[in-house]
A = this chain, B = another copy of it.
């Protein structure tokens, strides 16, 4: 997907996509936004947000799959903002490791993968070959602040 973009740095590719990063999410509780362990960077879980407001609702009830994909994309921007805050510049990301996606959904909603693809595809577009990652996507009963999606990322610096 990244092949179509001519930007040489992740930040240039973001501009080319017409996107800008939101402020790096600030935990509202007793934890920190990211930690390091050797070459690994662990983000905290981030909720899908649009202009600072949590995207609320339940997939399969209040939100369509398309809205879920867009929420996934927004959550991906927050993950990139966290990585930029952690490392200074996104080209210091050497690779991604594992994305955990928790989708809040109504009974019998089974398209968690489509929602998580919203996040995954943005990461690939912006980080290019360094954006590949393994992934777990599950449907959860409830999320903090009625959010529709929470994602957590492990990366290499």
Q: Specify the main secondary structure of chain A where it touches its partner.
A: mixed
- Copy tally for this chain in the complex stands at 3
With contacts A35-B96, A97-B35, A142-B108 taken as known, whether A44 is within 8 angstroms of B120 at the C-beta atoms is no
B40 touches A37 (CB 8 A): yes
- A80 contacts chain B at the CB level, 8 A cutoff: no
A120 touches B40 (CB 8 A): no
A113 to B96, CA, bound (A): 26
A144 touches B111 (CB 8 A): yes
Give the bracket for the number of chain A residues in contact with chain B: 35 or more
- A124 contacts chain B at the CB level, 8 A cutoff: yes
With contacts A105-B141, A110-B146, A137-B144 taken as known, whether A124 is within 8 angstroms of B30 at the C-beta atoms is yes
B143 touches A112 (CB 8 A): yes
With contacts A29-B113, A112-B143, A144-B112 taken as known, whether A34 is within 8 angstroms of B136 at the C-beta atoms is no
- Chain A residues engaging chain B, CB cutoff 8 angstroms: 1, 27-35, 37-40, 42-45, 95-100, 102-103, 105, 107-114, 116-117, 120-121, 124, 132-146, 150, 152, 154, 156
Leading 6 A-B pairs by shortest Cβ distance: A139-B142, A45-B136, A31-B135, A30-B120, A44-B134, A141-B141
